[in-house]
Amino acid sequence: MTTQAKNLIAVALPFPGLADVTIDALAASAERIDHQAGDVIYAAGAASDFLFIVASGAVRLERFCGGEMRLVGLAHRGEAFGWTALGEAAARRHRVAAADAVTLLRLRGATIIDLVTSDPGAGRVGRDDVVAALKSIQAVETLAAGETKHDVIAVQKPSAIALAIYRTGIWLRSPKPWLALLGYACLFGFWHLAVDVLKLPRFAEMPGPGAVLREFLSPNPTYGVSIYTPVYYQHILISLRRVAIAFVLATAFGVPTGLLLGWSKTFRDYVFPLFEMLRPIPILAWVPLAIVMLPGSELPVLYLTFLASFFATALNTMLGVRSIDPSYVLAAQSLGATRWQVFRHVVVPGALPFVFTGLQISIGVAWFSLVAAEMVSGQFGLGYLINTSYTMVQYPTIVIAMITLGAVGYATSAAVRLVGRWLMDWRERQLAMAGVR
């Protein structure tokens, strides 16, 4: 029960940064309680001393209204109830009864607050902060009868902004930002020593960080590109537009192709040999054909950017489908699911983690493919700027474009990760419940 208790507590409590030692202590203090269907766990008006987490089964949250007891909510495995034990010294608002045979973890509210406020992983969180946070996510609201449709209460959860601010606060109080700053300091320190101080032979032609920074922040840059020049932002916007178009097209074509490659043996037998023959061909090798086949200078760039991104997306999606446990498919078929229902409800959700991994790889591949394409075919864009600056011996501008490319690429990859986490929230919960995280 100890491992299960840790997993349940990690999921149910609204503090994702809790250290393992705190979760261990909470699990050690938890008491297991079993109830049969119909047993009353606590009545309305009872003292609020304990928080409960459902380990198995389900419980009914009921309220006396209009002369009868009415259902206002249900709590299932991994969900907590009885938040008043943590937020305030108030009596219970509802009666809670076992909907069926249920196993609960019972934790004393005062113990939870003491352990969370002294947790080394969550940082310096005061008791008032904990109480305020727990109040904001109470699983049940005090509502008058008839305020919710079908008398089922809407669970109040923290807003995305509040949760993001909370997690950012935990991150800022952790060593991670300082380690990241240390990594940047080491890189720029080596750059400064190699170019400006030691003047190593192989770095003689490179601009130092000071020269690049002066050019980057100059209202009148020597080579015409800085944060004050409109052309700088024009290059960024054009590259972003190209990557966005290529990435959307690669996702639209790559995900279905990968799903079919993983799901249909016939389709895989016909297509996969050709897929694997074309995939290793470098993007630069496609440049002459792209210029010959496609009119203008924009379409070849989009095609070359799309191509590399498409292969990354399709391959990871196919691997996601192939990684699904066949027993899930057999179980669905044994329950009478059609082939389309198995594909929709088993294959697609099962492949999603690999799909989003492929999309993260795909956006990165799209950026370096774009730069290669813009260097040989294109007007404007960060790749075009790098190539033109090299031709005209404008080395500070090359570094400015490279740093900009890294920052913009990092931001787009982070955006894809955030969207993936938002859409795959159920996956994070599943892994936590299984003890993987």
The answer on 427 and 280 residing in a single domain is yes
Q: For the domain that residue 46 is a member of, what is the CATH number?
A: 2.60.120.10
Residue 305: pLDDT over 70: yes
- 172 within some domain: no
Distance in angstroms (rounded) separating the CA atoms of residues 127 and 110: 10
Helix then strand then coil, in percent of the chain rounded to 5, is: 60, 10, 30
Could you give the 3-state DSSP secondary structure of residue 97?
strand
Query: Could you tell me the pLDDT band of residue 89, with boundaries at 50, 70 and 90?
Result: low
Could you give the 3-state DSSP secondary structure of residue 69?
strand
Q: For the domain that residue 390 is a member of, what is the CATH number?
A: 1.10.3720.10
Which of 345, 373, 358 has the alpha carbon at shortest distance from 288?
Answer: 373
The answer on 219 and 124 residing in a single domain is no
The answer on 223 and 103 residing in a single domain is no
Boundary (domain end) residue, out of 132, 157, 182: 157
- 292 within some domain: yes
Question: Cβ contacts of residue 141 below 8 Å, gap of 6+?
Answer: 153, 154, 156
The answer on 213 and 107 residing in a single domain is no
The number of domains in the chain is 2
Percent of the chain surpassing pLDDT 90: 32
- 226 within some domain: yes
The answer on 238 and 144 residing in a single domain is no
Residue carrying structure tokens 């790749």: 383
The answer on 148 and 245 residing in a single domain is no
The answer on 128 and 54 residing in a single domain is yes
Q: What is the pLDDT of residues 3-54, one digit of tens each?
A: 788 888 888 877 766 777 888 888 888 999 999 988 888 888 787 788 899 9
Q: What is the pLDDT of residues 177-212, one digit of tens each?
A: 889 899 999 999 999 999 988 888 888 788 999 999
Residue 122: pLDDT over 50: no
Boundary (domain end) residue, out of 125, 157, 189: 157
The answer on 217 and 151 residing in a single domain is no
- 185 within some domain: no
What domain range includes position 63?
2-157
The answer on 257 and 144 residing in a single domain is no
Which of 410, 412, 405 has the alpha carbon at shortest distance from 370?
Answer: 405
Residue 88: pLDDT over 50: yes
Query: Could you tell me the pLDDT band of residue 160, with boundaries at 50, 70 and 90?
Result: low
- 344 within some domain: yes
Q: How many other C-beta atoms lie within 10 A of the C-beta of residue 150?
A: 5
